[in-house]
Amino acid sequence: METKRYVFMFEEGSAKQKEMLGGKGANLAEMTRIGLPVPHGFTISTEACRRYIESGNQLFPGLMEQVWEALTRLEEKAGKRLGLREQPLLVSVRSGAVFSMPGMMDTILNLGLNDETVEGLAAATGDRRFAYDCYRRFIQMFGNVVMKMQHGAFERILERHKDAAGVEFDHLLDADQLVAIIANYKEHIRRATGQPFPLDPRQQLTMAIEAVFSSWNNPRAKVYRQTNGIPEHLGTAVNVQMMIFGNMGETSGTGVVFTRDPSTGHPGLYGEFLTNAQGEDVVAGIRTPKPIAEMSRDLPEAYRQLVDTCQLLEKHYGDMQDIEFTVEKGILFLLQTRTGKRTAAAAVRIAHDLVEEGKIDRAEAVRRIEPTQMTKILHRGIDPDAKLEAVARGLPASPGAATGQVVFDPDLAEKLGKEGQKVILVRPETTPDDIHGIIPAQGILTSRGGMTCHAAIVARGMGKPCVCGCEALRIDMDNETVAVAGRTIKAGDVVSIDGATGAVYIGEVPMVDPTLGEEFGAILRWADDLRHLGVRANADTPEDARKAREFGAEGIGLCRTEHMFMAQDRLPIVQEMILAETLDERQAALDKLLPIQQGDFEEILEAMEGLPTTIRLLDPPLHEFLPKVDELLAEIALLRGQGDYHAAAQREQVLRRARALEEANPMLGFRGCRLGIVYPEIYAMQARAIFQATVNLLRRGFRPQPEVMIPLVGHPNELLALRQLVEEVKAEVVRASGIEFNCPIGTMIEVPRAALVADQIAGTAEFFSFGTNDLTQTTFGFSRDDAEGKFLHQYLHRKVLEHNPFEVLDEEGVGQLIRLAVDGGRRTVPGLKVGICGEHGGEPRSIDFCHRAGLNYVSCSPYRVPVARLAAAQAALRNS
Ligand code: PEP
Ligand code: MG
């Protein structure tokens, strides 16, 4: 004997039972519970659907008995009976999953009609045409959804009859014409399926329930679940509800209303309605719905009720609602309420306003906002209403949208940029050499590289749109063309990219401006009151530093000094330094760099006045500053061919050095503190530049707070040697200037050994900062430049890994090292200051981990600072 219950009357449930009743069912139950006018009905649970699917798409014993019992109760409430000619009950059968999947699964309306009941409906409504129109729609919907027949065949029959009757619109067909259409529909069903259209309403209901269960696994629902991360096993509930008719004349109608504007968040009802119509008419687009405000004139009493109900529902749920309603002969009925989907801008405005109106508290407002969505409102975006087709999709590497002419050559990008033209720099990948072309570009598009490739990091840092790893692009650099989707894009053609979605479009697209308003600022300040983690920015230039401050950064957690070496006016000097054969020659080059670096630091420290600024000494391998060996070979051959042997000989010297610096595994090679140990004069120059800049600012009345950070330390001795070096330089600057100042010297923890011996390293370090980009690559043994382009997408596709560990911090592996290092460090130095400056510092799930691991701050690119402020507050709320 089956005792488990699978079927629940609306009055038995509540909003808390979403898992069992689905979102729609739970909300219908809730509205019934609080006394709102909801047509009677019942819900078949999601569990029933799961059992149905597990049983090989078969109804299991006991289920339909429960359905018939519920039906009897529904009939009693409605005062109507399914299949009875007098006062026939008609029902809708709708899917309703736990997570809303709009339009993905099936719906059947007007169920219960047959050759008998249609006459009863005609008699009850006094409208024969109306009754037969419902019947026709029902057969068509049932044939299509339940009996899996093509929609088009029904449409063709309908068209034929309209032509014969000489009418343009469905509603101009009279009852007899509809009767003839119905006969043709039934005949068509019998011929096409070998089965008659079922006239028994109980058989109709059984078949409809099975169809809704099965629609959980239709292809569009599967795709929707995949793209929205909805688990496959949940199943859908089925709601069986008494039909209400919005098409019973001019005092009836139907519509959809949001309690606030879903695109801007403005208060006030937003939506549309149609008089004398059923739900399908609104979506079918045959008649244009009217703005909801006009309902106050057409259906005044129902409108007043609707306004009150909207307020009540919003207050009850504490959030903006998306409501479906129908008015039958002047009486309002609610068919659905759910939390309304909204744009990022509207989400902010609504959360803010609900607090002001006393409907939710500040913490709830902060909780409501999806941090990553916020990057969307800080950039220009593509108009969400535009109907556009992407020619290709790459990785959404840096949000924001951009349009411009395609340029392959960074020099040309620079030139056109100076002329004020808009360009999109298109390259297979970018390198530090391309920076001068990246700066003036509106956006960057590459065919290779992952979310942390050079282009992606640089673009995010600049808040510049970037799509990378767009493998569908066949970029031919020699001919300056891109082949994609059977088309060829040439230099100078206009393209658009959307760095928030990875989409690439040909031509211009309509854009919308970012709307960063007062409300956003207010919510971020509420977040600041809630969070424990500090938020700093990764910024390498004074502009970045200013931007970061504007977005609320409380300091710089990582200033990468190599980007300063890449600028056009410095690179030749840096190359001179690298090519130097003797210490004197190298020192001469460094002497030229010193004032330039000092100027950089002075500007950045000034921009960060009063806030800590962590400056990292040189990190990348030196060959990154030299041209590539291949390019040099080609250049030398060309110079020789032109007879310019002198220039060729000069380039050969560069070639020799480039070859000498070549490494099998550059990421594990001669970089980071290893450079500082072998060429102490480089680090000494940088330290001097930092300290002299500090002294200058102090003289000018500022309060600079520099912090020096040594990269890639794995052994305490590395840090010890370099710390001594930096301290000696500091002592010299203090002695020469007569000005004392404080400057903590700390280290990055970015190789596993450093994490393992963190207790020893802490004796020498005044702070730790986790470089989780390198720590991820060295912990996994993945080269980050290669992994993302080569195998990582396969790993993700095949679910070997759930997330890209360069995006979302790998808590089990890398996270364990971080915890170990925090513990070790604080065992030696209680209260040791610890932060993170890898890309994960701006990623909400990783920020949650940083909170739990007891870090003091996270540091991320300026445009992700607001994201981090919110995510840090949410982490505090979640883990409190
Ligand atoms: C890191 O490794 O996480 C880091 C911040 O340094 P970079 O990305 O410059 O190697
Ligand atoms: Mg690093």
Interval between CA 837 and ligand 2 midpoint (Å): 9
| Nearest-CA residue for atom 8 of ligand 1 | 773
- DSSP string of 752-783? HHHHHTHHHHTTT-SEEEE-HHHHHHHHHT--
Pocket test for ligand 1, best of 671, 773, 785 (most atoms within 8 A of CB): 773
Specify the pLDDT at position 461. 66
Kindly name the residue from 161, 454, 623, 840 that is annotated as catalytic. Answer: 454
Q: Is the CB of 106 under 6 A from ligand 1?
A: no
Closest approach atom of ligand 1 to CA 558? 5
Instruction: Give the ligand at the shortest distance from the Cα of 836.
Output: 1
Tokens of 697: 């600012």
Specify the pLDDT at position 435. 83
CB contact at 8 A, 424 and 402: yes
- What are the C-alpha distances in Å from 482 to residues 363, 408, 413, 444, 456? 49, 10, 17, 14, 20
Residues of the chain with pLDDT under 50: none
Instruction: Give the ligand at the shortest distance from the Cα of 771.
Output: 1
Q: Is the CB of 620 under 6 A from ligand 1?
A: no
Phi/psi of residue 272, nearest 5 degrees: -150, 165
| Secondary structure class of 388 (helix, strand, coil) | coil
- Let me know how many helices (H) and strands (E) the chain has, helices first: 36, 31
Q: Is the CB of 837 under 6 A from ligand 1?
A: yes
Q: Is 352 a catalytic residue?
A: no
Name the residues around ion ligand 2, CB cutoff 5 A: 750, 771, 774
Pocket test for ligand 1, best of 561, 564, 750 (most atoms within 8 A of CB): 750
- What are the C-alpha distances in Å from 182 to residues 145, 188, 204? 17, 10, 17
Distance CA 232, CA 221 (A): 10
Q: Is the CB of 558 under 6 A from ligand 1?
A: yes
Specify the pLDDT at position 569. 84
Interval between CA 354 and ligand 2 midpoint (Å): 43
Closest approach atom of ligand 1 to CA 839? 3
- What are the C-alpha distances in Å from 690 to residues 182, 423, 597, 697, 739? 86, 36, 8, 11, 14
Specify the pLDDT at position 828. 98
Pocket test for ligand 1, best of 709, 712, 748 (most atoms within 8 A of CB): 748
Mark 132-148 as b/e (b = at least 16 C-beta within 10 Å): bbbbbbbbbbbbbbbbe
Closest approach atom of ligand 1 to CA 711? 6
- Could you give the angle at the alpha carbon of 192 between the alpha carbons of 188 and 193, nearest 5°? 115
Instruction: Give the ligand at the shortest distance from the Cα of 540.
Output: 1
Q: Is the CB of 842 under 6 A from ligand 1?
A: no
Interval between CA 772 and ligand 1 midpoint (Å): 7
Interval between CA 665 and ligand 2 midpoint (Å): 15
Q: Is the CB of 540 under 6 A from ligand 1?
A: no
Q: Is the CB of 774 under 6 A from ligand 1?
A: yes
Q: Is the CB of 772 under 6 A from ligand 1?
A: yes
Closest approach atom of ligand 1 to CA 452? 8
Alpha helices for 444-496 (secondary structure H): 454-462
Q: Is 171 a catalytic residue?
A: no
Alpha helices for 738-857 (secondary structure H): 752-756, 758-761, 772-780, 784-790, 792-797, 814-828, 844-852
- pLDDT tens-digit series, residues 648-691: 999 999 899 889 888 888 889 999 999 999 999 999 999 999 99
- pLDDT tens-digit series, residues 424-464: 999 998 887 788 899 899 999 999 877 666 787 778 767 78
Interval between CA 524 and ligand 1 midpoint (Å): 27
| Nearest-CA residue for atom 1 of ligand 1 | 771
| Secondary structure class of 239 (helix, strand, coil) | strand
Distance CA 452, CA 772 (A): 12
Q: Is the CB of 771 under 6 A from ligand 1?
A: yes
CB contact at 8 A, 139 and 184: no
Kindly name the residue from 559, 673, 743, 837 that is annotated as catalytic. Answer: 837
Closest approach atom of ligand 1 to CA 775? 2
| Nearest-CA residue for atom 6 of ligand 1 | 771
Phi/psi of residue 805, nearest 5 degrees: -70, -15
Interval between CA 391 and ligand 2 midpoint (Å): 35
